[in-house]
């Protein structure tokens, strides 16, 4: 149960909260789409069409006509925080890079070994 906000009728509060949830879902969908474009692994899992993420255009046009019921968002020092999925994808990318580096190191070691063998034979 959410706390009652003073100055808002119950219907207004419900409407405001629904809009907030829709806005949040759209934002997360956009972030997921950007992440899917950037990450080849996630591309396969992403739906081919973005219909699943879209909201109806009538809601959007209606929203633009309605006055905002909430005060403007407060700016915080932490506004640049990314979502968890973003940080997870960054972590996966770091792990891939470490893996590539280990593979490069193994290849260098194999090459050194081959070079030693060539010297022994000649």
Is the pLDDT score of 110 beyond 60? Answer: yes
Q: What is the pLDDT of residues 35-60, one digit of tens each?
A: 888 776 544 555 555 555 555 555 55
pLDDT at 27 over 70: yes
pLDDT tens digits, 57-105: 555 555 555 666 666 666 665 555 555 566 788 889 999 999 999 999 9
Structure tokens at 38: 């950037």
Angle at alpha carbon of residue 108, lines to 104 and 111, rounded to 5°: 140
pTM over 0.75: no
State the pLDDT at residue 64: 59
In whole angstroms, give the CA distance from residue 52 to residue 59. 16
The CA distances from residue 36 to 48, 52, 57, in Å, are 11, 15, 24
Cα–Cα distance, 94 to 98 (Å, whole number): 6
């Amino acid at each position: 149960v959410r706390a009652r906000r003073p100055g808002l009728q119950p219907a207004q509060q419900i409407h405001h909260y629904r809009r907030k949830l829709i806005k949040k879902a759209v934002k997360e969908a956009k972030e997921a789409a950007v992440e899917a474009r950037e990450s080849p692994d996630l591309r396969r899992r992403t739906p081919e069409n973005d219909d699943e993420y879209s909201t109806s255009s009538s809601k959007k046009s209606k929203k633009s006509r309605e006055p905002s019921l909430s005060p403007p968002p407060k700016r915080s020092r932490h506004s640049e925080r990314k979502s968890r999925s973003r940080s997870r994808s960054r972590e996966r990318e770091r792990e891939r890079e470490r893996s590539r580096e280990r593979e490069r190191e193994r290849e260098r070691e194999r090459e050194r070994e081959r070079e030693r063998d060539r010297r022994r034979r000649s």
